[in-house]
Amino acid sequence: MMKAVRFHETGGAEVLRYEGVEVPEPGAGEVRVQVAGSAFNPADGGMRGGFLPIPVTLPHVPGYDVSGTVDALGDGVDGLTVGQAVVGFLPMTADGSAAQYVIAPADALVAAPTRIPLADAAGLPSVGLTASQALFEAGGLQAGQRVLINGAGGPVGGYAVQLAKRAGAYVVATASPRSEQAVKAAGADEVIDHTTTPVLDAVTEPVDVLLNLAPIDAEGFAALATRVRDGGVVVSTTPRVQTPGDEARGVRAATVYVHPDADVLAGLVALVDSGDLRVEIARRVPLSELPALHEQADAGQVHGKVVVVPPAV
């Protein structure tokens, strides 16, 4: 048996149960990972609440970011060894990492960074991939371009600022006073305090790429998109509001849904190990406290990336 957090029905944080569960067995092409860290993501709350259209089988173990050590190999797995430290972005429909063990597709895992504690590495995969895919796959960001990152104070924003700066872009970022210093430290060239300054007034020169990571209404988003140059790109990770383009000006719109990409994740790990990418963890909580963490998140009290740590096996 192992300890896990599961929900047997959708609803508020109270549906989460910390309980004993059978240790899962890896199938062909899968490995079992002994979990060191499981990152909390806002989507975990959406899936638990039943208002994200991601089909899960109940009872469900949340947590789609994992770091840990390979514990057992399924048939046909090569390239990974028992005892190896790994990190990965797990399929969101499968049982996740809020447990002592989790089953992962072998091709979703890469060697974990060695420069940071293994548990903290769980804070990298989905948000790092989101930032990279938004900037480079969707946005086509290149050296010498200007990028406006709206909502740079959150976990994805921290990676987006670092990656854009490292790619040679000029980074304009919006942040609240609480996260302003962190966004500056990540490398932003300009930081706009959106609580005191209208962003439209502060962005005086056109940008090549607008990356929206913040809750925004359609009217505000359309206004922000006017700051993108002709032929530029508007990229968003917030699917509830349609991403605005402008055909007349050749401004393309792209909405990003993060997808697994082991090669890109391995590249992010390499940047962590070379000191070129910082993994910021706000706090670590024991697995038994995950229901309380969900309650805090529902109340808007979770800031920064939180890693959940299961008890030692």
**Euclidean distance between CA atoms 49 and 159, whole angstroms:** 27
* 52: confidence class by pLDDT, cuts 50, 70, 90: confident
Which class for 257: exposed (0-12), middle (13-18), buried (19 or more C-beta within 10 A)? Answer: exposed
Condensed to tens digits (0 to 9), the pLDDT of residues 210-265 reads 999 999 999 999 999 999 999 999 999 988 899 999 999 999 999 999 999 999 99
**Euclidean distance between CA atoms 172 and 19, whole angstroms:** 46
Domain 2-124+279-309 homologous superfamily, CATH? Medium-chain alcohol dehydrogenases, catalytic domain (3.90.180.10)
Least confident of 64-73, 127-136, 189-198: 189-198
**Euclidean distance between CA atoms 225 and 153, whole angstroms:** 20
**In the predicted model, is pLDDT for residue 53 greater than 90?**
no
Look up residue 45 and give its two tokens.
């709350």
* 49: confidence class by pLDDT, cuts 50, 70, 90: very high
**In the predicted model, is pLDDT for residue 194 greater than 90?**
no
The mean per-residue pLDDT over the stretch 128-155 comes to: 97
The mean of the pLDDT values for the chain is 96
> What is the model's pLDDT at position 197?
87
> What is the model's pLDDT at position 238?
87
> What is the model's pLDDT at position 244?
96
The mean per-residue pLDDT over the stretch 54-63 comes to: 95
Q: Are 112 and 74 in contact (CB under 8 A)?
A: no
Cis amide bond preceding 59, omega within 30: yes
Look up residue 275 and give its two tokens.
């000191």
Q: Are 211 and 232 in contact (CB under 8 A)?
A: no
**In the predicted model, is pLDDT for residue 166 greater than 90?**
yes
CA angle (44 as vertex; 39, 50 as ends), nearest 5: 170
Q: Which of 14 and 197 is assigned the larger pLDDT?
A: 14
Handedness of CA 221, 222, 226, 230 (dihedral sign): positive
The mean per-residue pLDDT over the stretch 162-173 comes to: 97
Chain centroid offset of residue 292 CA: 21
**Euclidean distance between CA atoms 58 and 49, whole angstroms:** 13
Residue percentage of the chain with pLDDT more than 90: 93
**Model pTM score:** 0.95
The mean per-residue pLDDT over the stretch 13-29 comes to: 98
Architecture label for domain 127-255: Alpha-Beta Complex (3.90)
Condensed to tens digits (0 to 9), the pLDDT of residues 70-128 reads 999 999 999 999 999 999 999 999 999 999 999 999 999 999 999 999 999 999 999 99
Q: Which of 232 and 54 is assigned the larger pLDDT?
A: 232
Buried b (16+ CB within 10 A) or exposed e, 176-185: beebbebbbe
Domain ranges of the chain: 2-124+279-309, 127-255
Look up residue 283 and give its two tokens.
């706090």
**In the predicted model, is pLDDT for residue 268 greater than 90?**
yes
Q: Which of 90 and 55 is assigned the larger pLDDT?
A: 90
DSSP 3-state assignment of 102? strand
Closest CA to 266 of 113, 97, 153, 40: 113
Say which DSSP state 49 is in.
H
Q: Do domains 2-124+279-309 and 127-255 have the same CATH topology?
A: yes
> What is the model's pLDDT at position 149?
98
> What is the model's pLDDT at position 313?
87
* 131: confidence class by pLDDT, cuts 50, 70, 90: very high
The owner of tokens 């789609």 is 64
